[in-house]
Amino acid sequence: MSQTTQLLFKNRKPGETIFLKEFSANGGYQGLKTAVGTMTPEEVRELVKASALRGRGGAGFPTGVKWGFFPADKPGTKYLVCNCDEMEPGTYKDGVLLQADPHQLIEGMILSAFALQTQVGYIFIRYAYEKQAENLRRAITEATEAGYLGKNILGSGFDFELHVHGSAGRYILGEETALLNGLEGIRPNPRLKPPFPAVRGLFGQPTTVNNVETLANIPHIVTGGAQWFKDLALTPDGSGTKLFGLSGHLNCTECFELPVGITLHEVINKYGQGMWKNKQFKACLPGGASTPYLTREHMGVPLDFASLEQVGSRFGTAGVTAFDEDTCMVAVTLNLIAFFARESCGWCTPCRDGLTMVRWLLETLESGKGTREHLEMLKDQLANISGKSFCALAEGAMGPVAGLLNHFEQEIVDHIDRGHCPFNK
């Protein structure tokens, strides 16, 4: 049904995993061959910068700029780490990609390692993705036997070894410095930045951490060119395609590869096939649990980093979770905050105590026992948690609270005035 150019999902078949034979037959490892055969590492880095690719893990930092901070020419061990801890509610695209086509990531990592001149790579993968981890281990074995991994890759003199590293739960591991601690076997609280991982990362060595989808895009940029990749997006400053994982009150809750800049209307009505049980759309999380809500007034907004920032939200991971007209947004926000409060690592006070406080405030308001004083306290917490925590977890947690206060303050007031949740019929 999709007319979008399919890069990452081009080999995807329902219920199947594609391995080396089929991946190679469909143009797999051509990007790697082109890069190591005809380009310098610096040329690959420049190409990625020119493509305007932005990180697909949620924060959306330009990949070429991030790589620009990396001391690729510095001697000594350097690491490339793939963040496959995908644990933000509403986000499941990396899991789908690695179930369908694990070599997409393997080729992307080898090519990125060449660009950054890192000798060792790790794929840090969440506990729940054991099938994906098995796919990756098999793909690594195949790539090693084919000469794409190991010593003197494709006769280039470049060496790269790649390991899959499992985890055992907890959302905080998706924060890149907590992830590095987790990889090292240290208690995974986040680290103070600076120094940034590019300077002192894994085992104290220069490290770049990139998301699965980000890395998987690199070979396509090499084979197609930076301008072609940019032109895949529908917005002038956008770039590439994006994996959209749909969920919530939609008729179709699947994952699609769509152009960056597609409108919310098209995602909800064409790909999501409209609202479940013929109800009306009320709101959605546009890019995972930490992104402020969009509402009916945002149906025409192109889903891209810049356009979503303009309307006070974020593109995030493009995990779109839709809510119907009968959904209480105070209750949704309470569910989200309960997640973030439970997943807080407990390291800093704004997150450990602040989110617990916000959960209590939302419980009080949702139960109908809240007063206007509680509403003011909620606003106060927003002002005193956002921007004041040690890492981005609490900042993200407050995204939906900000969205609730911006778009649904009247709904909170209704709870207070009626003394009960207006949606509990």
Partner 1 sequence: MTSIESQTTSHLLDQQTLAEFIQHAGEIEHPREMIIDVLRAIQSHHGWVPDEGVELTASILGLTPIEVEEIATFYDKIFRRPVGRFVIHLCDSVCCWVRGADEIAAYLKKVLDIEFGQTTADGLFTLLPSCCLGCCGIAPAVMIRQEFFGPLTPEKVDELITSLRKEALA
Considering only residues 342 through 361, tell me which ones interact with partner 1, judged by CB under 8 A: 342-343, 345
Q: Are the beta carbons of 165 and 124 closer than 8 angstroms?
A: yes
CA distance 414 to 108: 51
246 is a site residue for partner 1 (CB under 8 A): yes
Q: Are the beta carbons of 354 and 398 closer than 8 angstroms?
A: no
Q: Looking at this protein, which amino acid is placed at residue 5?
A: T
Q: How far is the CB of 130 from partner 1 (least distance, A)?
A: 4
Residue 180: φ, ψ to 5°:
-65, -40
Q: How far is the CB of 95 from partner 1 (least distance, A)?
A: 5
Residues 112-141 as b or e (16 or more Cβ within 10 Å = b): bbbbbbbebbbbbbbeebeebbebbeebbe
Selection from 261, 268, 321 nearest residue 293 by Cα: 321
Contacts of 40 (CB under 8 A, 6+ apart): none
Considering only residues 372 through 411, tell me which ones interact with partner 1, judged by CB under 8 A: none
366 is a site residue for partner 1 (CB under 8 A): no
Considering only residues 162 through 191, tell me which ones interact with partner 1, judged by CB under 8 A: 165-171, 182-188
Q: How far is the CB of 75 from partner 1 (least distance, A)?
A: 17
Residue with smaller CB distance to partner 1, 53 or 105: 105
Tokens (6 digits) for 175: 């924060």
Q: How far is the CB of 234 from partner 1 (least distance, A)?
A: 24
Residue with smaller CB distance to partner 1, 108 or 248: 248
CA distance 362 to 358: 6
Find the part of the chain contacting partner 1 (CB under 8 A) among 7-15, 106-114, 337-345, 373-381.
337-345
219 is a site residue for partner 1 (CB under 8 A): no
303 is a site residue for partner 1 (CB under 8 A): no
Residue with smaller CB distance to partner 1, 22 or 254: 254
Considering only residues 63 through 122, tell me which ones interact with partner 1, judged by CB under 8 A: 86-92, 95
Considering only residues 268 through 287, tell me which ones interact with partner 1, judged by CB under 8 A: 285
Of positions 128, 154, 299, 392, contacts partner 1 by CB under 8 A: 128
Residue with smaller CB distance to partner 1, 269 or 335: 335
Is the Cα torsion angle 418, 419, 422, 425 positive or negative in sign? negative
Of positions 67, 70, 244, 339, contacts partner 1 by CB under 8 A: 339
Of positions 13, 21, 74, 131, contacts partner 1 by CB under 8 A: 131
CA distance 217 to 104: 8
CA distance 102 to 138: 9
CA distance 206 to 347: 25
201 is a site residue for partner 1 (CB under 8 A): no
- DSSP bridge partners of 284: 294, 322
Binding site for partner 1 (CB under 8 A): 86-92, 95, 126-131, 165-171, 182-188, 203, 245-249, 253-255, 285, 289, 319, 321, 323, 327, 332, 335-336, 338-339, 342-343, 345
